[in-house]
Structure 1
Amino acid sequence: MNGVLFYDKNGSDKFWAISVRENICYTFFGRRGTDGQVRASRFASNHFANVRSEKKFDEKLNEGYEPMSPSVHGFSEDGFLNFLFKAHGIDEDNDSKPEHKPPQDTGITTITWTARKRVTLENLNDAVTLVNTVLNAAGLEPHVLMTTEGQVTFSGVDDKDLHFGYPPKDFIDSLAPTAQKALLERNVSRDGWISINGVGSGTLEYGESLHQLTVPLFLAVLM
């Protein structure tokens, strides 16, 4: 998937773009007229990368980002993305099977998880209890919560909340039919949601926050 969006409201003038190359999802963002920054996340397959990019694209639309107006002559989405790839030194020559090198020092931590065996509600609860015990011992309040349906939330202090576990019904209902079928029938999960059979794999991203302690510890206990 490829997509380019712009935001020019409330005094802002910025761009956001996403592009999937093989199993890597590249996200570009910044002030319009600059090269901006790039974030790259590697997934287990091209399918996972595209599912992730579609979700992020929809999130940006909901935040008020918009495609370039058709009345703007000379704008090419492909041309804009090619410019960004070149500006950040990313080889895009697919014919020669390029070596994609995700940029370093983005301030974003990416952690990939894989649940090959079924994760039960008891497993989730045990992991949550242990992490909160560690936090309490360090003099910190619990920042990991779990619902009776099996949805775990890592509360963000200086970062966004992260979610893991069994996806809620409204999340499943929001998916495209093909994605719903994958989640319900093929044990394919996305981001932090495991399949309804309790297995799958995904990727969680977070910045400088308490998540750097809680998320790796939780996954280490769980997996």
Structure 2
Amino acid sequence: MIAAEDTALVLLAAGKSSRFGTGNKLEAEFLGKPVGLHVVTALESIRFQSRFVVVDGCALDFRGYHVIRNDGSEPGMAASVKLGVAAARDAGAKAVLIALADMPRVTAAHIYRLLDTADSADAVVASSDGVRPRPPALFGAGQFDFLLSLTGDAGARDLVSGGKHVVTAPAELIDIDTPEDLEKLRALVHAPEALTRPHATRID
């Protein structure tokens, strides 16, 4: 296993929310608070070595995180990953956990399972819904150089596919890309917002 105390948390909260329409998806309300702060709350009890959040305009208050700004000079998610990993390496972390701020149902229990599954400095441990690997994902320090060489959006896909996968309930790994994604999640958990949205229907 890799201890949380040796691991830097890198939360990716950058992106143009282009598929969400107007507004920033991370600032949309879900269960009484912004989508982007749910994972912050869920993981606040884990004693990470350090916490970083990569942003490019999101106005949320990520308390307890070192804020890294992605200026958009390099396109794709890889740019945010590289900024976070570089900060984690500079902080002396032995591993990095990469999580997405638009996945509001991730739990601390699942993160501990990722940490417990890691077995070396070269570890690659991703989450899975039983069909495909996805974030959150844990990388040992032996993978930092590779992560720092990424370009575009898909560079780490082969690395993650070849790593270990920890399966959890698909509902825990829901990510929010569109307004429809958010409405489906609100209905799934009977969120109060689902009952006040136009044309929303409750699923019992």
TM-score bin, normalised by smaller chain: under 0.3
Give the number of the structure whose alpha-carbon radius of gyration is greater: 1
Q: Normalising to structure 2: TM-score of the pair?
A: 0.27
Q: Normalising to structure 1: TM-score of the pair?
A: 0.26
